[in-house]
């Protein structure tokens, strides 16, 4: 008689899942806002929005993931910060429309569920939620034996925020507006397939080795730099400055994302050299023999968020962003045109 089958024999360990849930509970609770109703463990998360605070509220939602940055995290054996990246990708998307992030949900898929590894991932997600000032309201973890190998994981998230209809961005974008750039100290979550090809395969670099000659930190440290979360600063900017638009610089770089908020009768001129580009881009470009056009299309080149403001508000916007903790610079302006993004030497 053949041996009886069970779920664990098929590659799914229910007990490990239950242990992981116990490990992450305190991380999740640490993100709770006063509007959260109930505790961890329900079939759905409950959130009591204070609708009386708003005249005409709109809910704003976004979902995104960490892409192949997850592979770098796995190769380096570091899973405790990539959750910050996952939160950043979604909350900063909704913040560009003027929305306050309210809550976040995560989805973790793994080849084999190891409770301590899931604990690391959720610890990072919780830290990202605390930085974004939103609640980690729920999530899901699932094993995919036969689809993913042990050690492999993917991490995606979903954010919901709220904004007054009258405050939705973009609005009133026009020629003469100035463009403020907020610093991104790392690659965020974009371009990792090209970065890995250039640095690890063609450049034959080790993640344990220095990020570049003379660097005092490793290549893994550089590539796993957590994404800056801009959402609280964007809300502060919008409250103090007449912001016309924000552009989150993710896949597609500055050209692909800034163009999304331009009217058809305006061009944006970006002055390269107006901000210090992180050294890692020079290393990627050299190892991969990558063109300038390809670099600016794939990577953010050190600018993770752009704000478009009236000319008389530009210096105030720079100062406000810096006070909020983000290095920022005046990096360009809008002019009459056809909705194109152009680069010029500073």
What is the pairing mode between strands 266-272 and 341-345?
Answer: parallel
Task: Name the residue among 244, 224, 225, 222 with its Cα closest to residue 234.
Answer: 244
Q: Which residue has the higher pLDDT, 25 or 346?
A: 25
Please give the structure tokens belonging to residue 166. 């009258």
The CB density around residue 236, as the number of other CB atoms within 10 Å, is: 15
User: Peptide bond preceding 170: is omega within 30 degrees of 0, i.e. cis?
Assistant: yes
Answer whether residue 77 shows pLDDT above 70.
Answer: yes
Residue 266 class from Cβ within 10 Å (0-12 exposed, 13-18 middle, 19+ buried)? buried
Half-sphere exposure (CA, 13 Å, Cβ side) for 283?
21
Please give the structure tokens belonging to residue 226. 């957590």
Which of 14-23, 203-212, 247-256 is predicted with the least confidence, judged by mean pLDDT?
14-23
pLDDT given for residue 52 in this prediction: 93
Q: Which residue has the higher pLDDT, 90 or 9?
A: 90
- Cβ contact 172:244 at 8 Å: yes
pLDDT given for residue 13 in this prediction: 82
pLDDT given for residue 5 in this prediction: 79
CA 258 to chain centre: 16
State the pLDDT confidence band at 8, using cuts at 50, 70 and 90.
confident
Answer whether residue 7 shows pLDDT above 70.
Answer: yes
Q: What is the mean pLDDT of the chain?
A: 95
State the pLDDT confidence band at 1, using cuts at 50, 70 and 90.
low
Q: Which residue has the higher pLDDT, 9 or 311?
A: 311
pLDDT given for residue 219 in this prediction: 98
Structural domains of the chain sorted by starting position, each given as residue range(s) with its CATH number in brackets: 14-167 (3.30.1330.10), 178-345 (3.90.650.10)
Cα gap 120→325, rounded to integer Å:
26
| 100-134: pLDDT as tens digits | 999 999 999 999 999 999 999 999 999 999 999 99
In SS3 terms, the chain reads as CCCCCCCCCCCCCHHHHHHHHHHHHHHHHCCCCCCEECCCCCCCCEECCCHHHCCCEEEEEEEEECCCHHHHHHHHCCCCCHHHHHHHHHHHHHHCCCCEEEEEEEEEEECCCCHHHHHHHHHHHHHHHHHHCCEEEEEEEEECECCECCCCEEEEEEEEEEEEHHHCCCCCCCCCCEEEEEECCCCCCCCHHHHHHHHHHHCCCCCCCECCCCCCCEHHHHHCCCCCCCHHHHHHHHHHCCCCEEEECCCCHHHHHHHHHCCCCEEEEEEECCCCCCHHHHHHHHHHCCCHHHHHHHCCCCEEEEEEECHHHHHHHHHHHHHCCCCEEEEEEEEECCCCEEEEEC
pLDDT given for residue 31 in this prediction: 96
pLDDT given for residue 4 in this prediction: 80
Return all residues near 147 (Cβ < 8 A) that are at least 6 apart: 111
Answer whether residue 53 shows pLDDT above 70.
Answer: yes
pLDDT given for residue 283 in this prediction: 98
Task: Name the residue among 252, 296, 301, 310 with its Cα closest to residue 281.
Answer: 301
State the pLDDT confidence band at 3, using cuts at 50, 70 and 90.
confident
Answer whether residue 18 shows pLDDT above 90.
Answer: no
């Amino acid at each position: 008689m053949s041996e009886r089958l069970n779920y664990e024999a098929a590659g799914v360990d229910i007990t490990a899942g239950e242990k992981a849930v116990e490990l992450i509970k305190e991380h999740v609770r640490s993100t709770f806002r006063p509007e959260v109703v109930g505790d961890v463990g329900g079939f759905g998360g409950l959130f009591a929005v204070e609708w009386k605070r708003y005249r005409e509220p709109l809910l704003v939602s976004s979902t995104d993931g960490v892409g192949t940055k997850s592979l770098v995290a796995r190769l380096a054996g570091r899973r405790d910060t990539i959750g910050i990246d996952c939160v950043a990708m979604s909350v900063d998307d909704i913040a560009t429309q003027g929305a306050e992030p309210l809550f976040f949900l995560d989805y973790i898929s793994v080849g084999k569920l190891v409770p301590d590894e899931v604990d690391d991932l959720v610890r990072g997600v919780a830290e990202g939620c605390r930085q974004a000032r939103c609640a980690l309201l729920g999530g899901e973890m699932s094993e995919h034996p036969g689809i993913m190998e042990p050690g492999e994981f993917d991490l995606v998230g979903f954010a919901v925020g709220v904004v007054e209809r009258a405050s939705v961005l973009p609005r009133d974008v026009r020629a003469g507006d100035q463009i403020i750039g907020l610093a991104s100290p790392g690659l965020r979550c974009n371009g990792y397939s090209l970065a890995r090809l250039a640095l690890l395969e063609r450049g034959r670099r080790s993640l344990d080795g220095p990020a570049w000659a003379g660097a005092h930190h490793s290549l893994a440290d550089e590539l796993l730099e957590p994404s800056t979360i801009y959402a609280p600063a964007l809300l502060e900017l919008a409250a103090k400055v007449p912001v016309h638009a924000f552009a989150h610089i993710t896949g597609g770089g500055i050209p692909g994302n800034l163009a999304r908020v331009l009217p058809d009768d305006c061009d944006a001129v970006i002055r390269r050299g107006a901000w210090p580009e992180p050294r890692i881009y020079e290393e990627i470009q050299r190892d991969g023999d990558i063109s300038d056009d390809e670099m600016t299309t794939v990577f953010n080149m050190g600018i993770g968020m752009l704000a478009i403001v009236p000319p008389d508000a530009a210096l105030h916007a720079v100062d406000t962003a810096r006070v909020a903790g983000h290095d920022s610079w005046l990096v360009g302006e809008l002019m009459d045109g056809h909705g194109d993004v152009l680069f010029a030497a500073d």
